């Protein structure tokens, strides 16, 4: 098993299928580790730290476009012949923008509990609470508010600690600008086969948003809807998600 680490990414597995993973807001590369453990024999998983996350250096100028350009440069440097791109929440919005811009686009785009390409309408009171950063008590509340399935101690503490390792200016950028940046016109130009995986019980991204603010901006997307899961699907249902990804990639022979 290949398991290489540096400050920008982690590589897990030695399988023939390549998947690049982009984490959620509040997470980092290692937020995927439990799911990637179930993929290591079938796939090579590239778990990326976006700039400013996982104690990495932040971007000087922050925008969805700038993060997407960073992601595409990272993928180019990997020199992958074929790959799938999988993004979670904020990472899905950035990943979708990157796929629409890439000179070498992914074979498949997989969006997990995606932040809408339009505007993620977080209530003002919740945004004000989350802008108290870094704050362990608020980070703990954020994890509890986002999940339906109770995380074990290791995963719960990771979900809290990963928030505290995010650059403050990057944290504020997403809450005050990134989630409100409507990039739907650009994303709509992508021609990549797209699968959306979501939960009808997600307390962060409700199904109404998936139907009205996500699906219309992708060409004939496949939508997989689960239940009894919250927003942190890669940690709440790591094995289930891994098995679903395996099945999806079997169709991309």
Residue 32, pLDDT score = 98
Mean pLDDT for all residues in the chain: 95
Q: Which fold has domain 3-250?
A: Rossmann fold (3.40.50)
Contact 9, 29 (CB under 8 A): yes
pLDDT of residue 6: 42
pLDDT at 67: 98
User: Confidence band (pLDDT; 50, 70, 90) for 8?
Assistant: confident
* Farthest-apart Cα atoms in the chain, separation: 47
d(CA 233, CA 136): 22
Please give the radius of gyration of the chain, using alpha carbons only, rounded to the nearest integer: 16
Nearest to 112 by CA among 222, 1, 252, 251: 222
Structure tokens that stand for 77 in this block:
């440097």
**pLDDT per position as a tens digit, 191-216:** 999 999 999 999 999 999 999 999 99
Residues 6+ apart with CB under 8 A from 135: none
Report pLDDT for 2: 37
6 by Cβ neighbours in 10 Å (0-12 / 13-18 / 19+) ranks as: exposed
pLDDT of 251 above 80: no
What 3-state class would DSSP assign to 16? Answer: coil
226 alpha-carbon distance from chain centroid? 17
Q: What confidence score (pLDDT) does residue 250 get?
A: 86
Cα distances (Å, whole numbers) of residue 202 to 39, 66, 115, 233 = 24, 28, 12, 9
- Which residues, 6+ apart, have CB-to-CB distance to 159 below 8 Å? 26, 27, 31, 143, 151, 232, 235
Could you tell me what percent of the chain has a pLDDT over 90? 95
Pairing state between β 84-88 and 43-48: unpaired
Please write the tens of the pLDDT for every residue from 159-174.
Answer: 999 999 999 999 999 9
State yes or no: pLDDT of 253 exceeds 80: no
| Percentage of residues of the chain with pLDDT beyond 70 | 97
Q: pLDDT, tens digit, for every residue of 35-87? A: 999 999 999 999 999 999 999 999 999 999 999 999 999 999 999 999 999 99
The angle formed by the CA atoms of residues 6, 49 and 158, to the nearest 5 degrees, is: 95
Pairing of strands 3-5, 108-112: unpaired
Q: Give the angle 88-46-154 at the CA atoms, nearest 5°.
A: 65
Please write the tens of the pLDDT for every residue from 89-130: 999 999 999 999 999 999 999 999 999 999 999 999 999 999
């Amino acid at each position: 098993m290949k398991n290489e680490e540096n400050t920008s990414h982690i590589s897990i597995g030695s399988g023939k299928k390549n998947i690049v993973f982009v984490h959620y807001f509040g997470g980092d590369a290692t937020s995927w580790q439990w799911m990637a453990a179930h993929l290591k024999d079938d796939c090579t998983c590239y778990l990326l730290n976006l700039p400013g996350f996982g104690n990495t250096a932040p971007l000087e100028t922050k925008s969805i476009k700038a993060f997407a350009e960073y992601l595409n440069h990272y993928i180019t440097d990997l020199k992958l012949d074929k790959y799938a791109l999988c993004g979670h929440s904020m990472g899905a919005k950035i990943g979708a923008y990157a796929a629409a811009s890439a000179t070498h686009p992914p074979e498949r785009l997989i969006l997990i509990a995606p932040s809408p390409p339009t505007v993620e309408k977080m209530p003002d009171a919740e945004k004000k609470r989350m802008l108290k950063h870094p704050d362990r008590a608020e980070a703990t509340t954020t994890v509890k508010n986002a999940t339906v399935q109770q995380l074990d101690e290791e995963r719960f503490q990771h979900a809290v600690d990963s928030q505290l390792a995010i650059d403050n200016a990057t944290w504020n950028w997403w809450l005050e600008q990134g989630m409100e940046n409507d990039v739907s016109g650009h994303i709509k130009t992508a021609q990549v086969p797209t699968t959306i995986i979501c939960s009808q019980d997600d307390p962060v991204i409700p199904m109404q948003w998936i139907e009205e603010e996500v699906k219309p901006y992708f060409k004939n997307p496949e939508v997989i809807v689960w239940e009894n899961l919250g927003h942190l699907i890669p940690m709440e249902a790591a094995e289930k998600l891994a098995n679903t990804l395996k099945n999806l990639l079997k169709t991309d022979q």
